[in-house]
Structure 1
Amino acid sequence: MPRHTRRATLLAGAALTAVMTVTAAMPAQAAWPEKPVTFLIPWPAGGATDIVGRALQPYLAERLGTEVIIKNVVGAGGTIGAAEAARAKPDGYTLFLTTPSVLTSMPHMRPLPYDPKGFVPIGRINDTPMVVMVTKTSPHESIADIVEDAKGKPGELTYASTGAGTLPHITMISLQSSADVELKHVPFKGSAEVMKALLGDVVDVFSDQAQLIPRYDLRPLGVWAKERLPEFPDVPTMKEQGYDQAFSIWLGLFGPEGTPDEVVQKMSAVLEDTLEDPAVVEEFKKLQLAPGYMNPGELADFVESEYERNKNLMGMAGIKKQ
């Protein structure tokens, strides 16, 4: 072999060895997720949001190849949990599963210990019309019954909410304003606490997600939607009963600010695939829910529109930022 050829071969070999040595010395970048993923829910265990999170838990865990942990951090209308989620390390191992109020209505009520626009949208899970509900032993069998009772006893009939400024609160403010009646507002930390109070006859009425109705054997009185729900074909819409308003509550998955895009895209794809699983569709059907997936971009636009809508609604209801 000619000297210059042999020299070139030796140099190339040395270069390859150096590259291999450097590569071997570099730590391998682990693919997410390599450990359990925590879903932080700002509402109590047993509540409407928690029910959905736990229904999805095993299906998401199977697709992610790791454990999914549900962590409930409650209080202050969901804002305590939102603040903890915002402070979480943005590595994809703590994600935030929430209803809209902490991002779209609470910001119009008071200063918050987090930036409601700082969360990274991952995907929407569902979009469910709100339903006015009472116990099956309640003397109220229609919205008209509630309005008539409230007119006869101003300020005595009670309604629950999951906190001031939450959608259960706003919907009942809308009813009071439209019907020109006065009901007494009783706030709780979450729908699980409301259910205890409602079933214990501590409060009279509640407006929230439909999945609570079969779980707690409640009586639905009116649906805040343009059309009747197939799950409750005999329950008239609020519009049919003279109150032309529609309210829906949705669940979305978010990451703290700075969550890597590769995590967002992978988790969003896993969520979409999970919501298309026939077993999950059937599970949601039992919960009186329908999957309503949105990708990160769609969810970002949706949250912004809900933020502005709730700002206007709360202004109409006379709720001012403290």
Structure 2
Amino acid sequence: MENKTVTETKKYPDKPITLIVPFGVGGGMDLVARLLEKTAPAQLGQPLVILNKPGGTGAIGWNEVVGATPDGYTLGITGIEVLLQPLYGPTKFHYPTALEPLVQISESPMVMAILAEQPWENLDDFIAYAKQHQGKIKFGHSGIGGIGHVAGESFSKAAKLNLEQVPFQSAAEAMTNLLGGHVQVAFLTPALANEFVKSGMVRILGVAGEHRLSNPDFANTPTFKEQGLDVVGSSWFGIAAPKGLPIEVKNKLADGFKAMINDPEFQKNIEQLGLQVTYLDPKESAEKWLKDSQRLTKTVQETGIVEKIKEQKK
């Protein structure tokens, strides 16, 4: 029986690999998956078959990945939500322990966007104004409990402000409402703000990352940490498998995805989406999941997001 497993593993993969995208067509995760799809046959020896399974803020798709046979033929694209979901109440599976990270592809810290026509030239101006108008300023984000919401509440708490959060169906909708003046601030990814920053319609007051963005359009925008506020919140994309992959299969996948991410064409296309390639191997990804989980657990408790989600579910 043992020999049979070794023989089977050696010829892995001998059929297409399904990559489950737990969100709809056209979103950030889906676009990244389709870029991987282009280079998969060359680097993995088999095509990737993209399967969109939206719903439950990622839960429906990830449940399917966790429940799949750990043979390397069913994988899932992951995001920060795999860590956030279990913090808000019972999920069918505890994703951070039921999934095995293979690679991190990209990371994008949230940015704080305002309309350029607003009188606030910098973060200090904004905080001074908001303190004089407590409860009058609204910030938009892509949904209760998402990383944009977490970043916004973290900022409110760190700056000792009382900002009113306004959830939308997507970050794109939050941006539309910022442009329309329905909210004064939006917390979203640089990719969504990029064209409006270029055109001069939107100004970025802070980056919720450990470092400034490498994108030239954002290079002069300081992080919140540089401005004395401990606000960190990044959206990232990775690939994970159900727990229990044979080590040879895991290594083959990890090497294949590393080659795909290092492909210059892939990197160029990722940057065109407004994302930054931030490659992590399986061990580094697992360490990142653990570190992020600990930080997020503390943040969602301290900012009262858990309570807001409970209220919403009632």
**TM-score over 0.5 for the alignment?**
yes
Alpha-carbon distance, 1:112 to partner: 0.7
- Rg larger in structure: 1
Deviation at 1:96, TM superposition (A): 1.3
CA-to-partner distance for each residue in 1:237-260, whole Å, 9 max, x for gaps?
Answer: 223434233333322210123344
CA distance in 2, matches of 1:242, 1:226: 12
**Aligned partners of 2:34 and 2:178: how far apart in 1?**
23
Q: 2:110 aligns with which of 130, 136, 146?
A: 130
Aligned pair partner of 1:281 in 267, 270, 284:
267
Structure 1 length-normalised TM? 0.77
Deviations 1:67-125 (A, max 9, x none): 3233333333333332233233433232111212222x222221112222111121111
Which one of the candidate residues 32, 36, 43 is aligned to 2:23?
43
CA distance in 1, matches of 2:132, 2:26: 35
Q: Deviations over 1:161-220 (max 9, x none)?
A: 333332211111111112222222223444344445445555443223322233565543
Code of the residue aligned with 1:234 in structure 2: it is N
1:162 to 123, 139, 142: 142
* CA shift in 2, pair 1:242/1:309, >3 Å: closer
Amino acid at match of 1:108: L
Partner of 1:309: 295
What does 1:1-322 align with in structure 2 at a 5 Å threshold? 29=8, 31-103=11-83, 105-116=84-95, 117-134=97-114, 142-144=122-124, 146-148=126-128, 150-214=130-194, 219-231=203-215, 232-320=218-306
Identity %: 32
> Could you tell me how far apart the structure 2 residues matched to 1:39 and 1:273 are?
17
Rounded to whole Å, the distance in 2 between the matches of 1:187 and 1:211 is 19
After superposition, what is the alpha-carbon deviation per residue over 1:130-187, rounded to whole angstroms, capped at 9, x for unaligned? 2222455666654345435544544343323333332211111111112222222223
Taking a change above 3 Å as real, the CA distance of residues 234 and 248 of structure 1, as seen in their structure-2 partners, is: same
TM-score by structure 2 length? Answer: 0.79
CA separation in 1, counterparts of 2:177 and 2:154? 22
What's the RMSD between the two structures over aligned residues? 3.1
Deviation at 1:51, TM superposition (A): 3.2
Letter in structure 1 aligned against 2:70: P
Partner SS, residue 33 of structure 1: coil
- Are 2:40 and 2:48, in contact at CA under 8 Å, matched by a contact in 1? yes
1:186/1:43 CA distance change after superposition, 3 Å:
farther
CA separation in 2, counterparts of 1:233 and 1:271?
29
Report the Cα distance in structure 1 between the residues aligned to 2:26 and 2:174, rounded to whole angstroms. Answer: 11
Amino acid at match of 1:258: G
> For the residues of structure 2 that align with 1:74 and 1:131, how far apart are their CA atoms?
25
- Please tell me whether the aligned partners of residues 99 and 252 of structure 1 are also in contact (alpha carbons under 8 angstroms): yes
1: distance between equivalents of 2:257 and 2:143? Answer: 29
Would the alpha carbon gap of residues 257 and 227 (structure 1) be closer, same or farther in structure 2, given more than 3 Å must change? closer
**CA contact under 8 A between 1:225 and 1:246: conserved in structure 2?**
yes
Cα distance between partner residues in 1 of 2:61 and 2:174: 18
Provide the C-alpha distance between the structure 1 equivalents of 2:130 and 2:246, rounded to a whole number of angstroms. 52
For the residues of structure 1 that align with 2:292 and 2:306, how far apart are their CA atoms? 17
Aligned twin of 1:4: none
Number of residues paired by the alignment? 295
Structure 1: which 5+ runs fail to align?
1-27
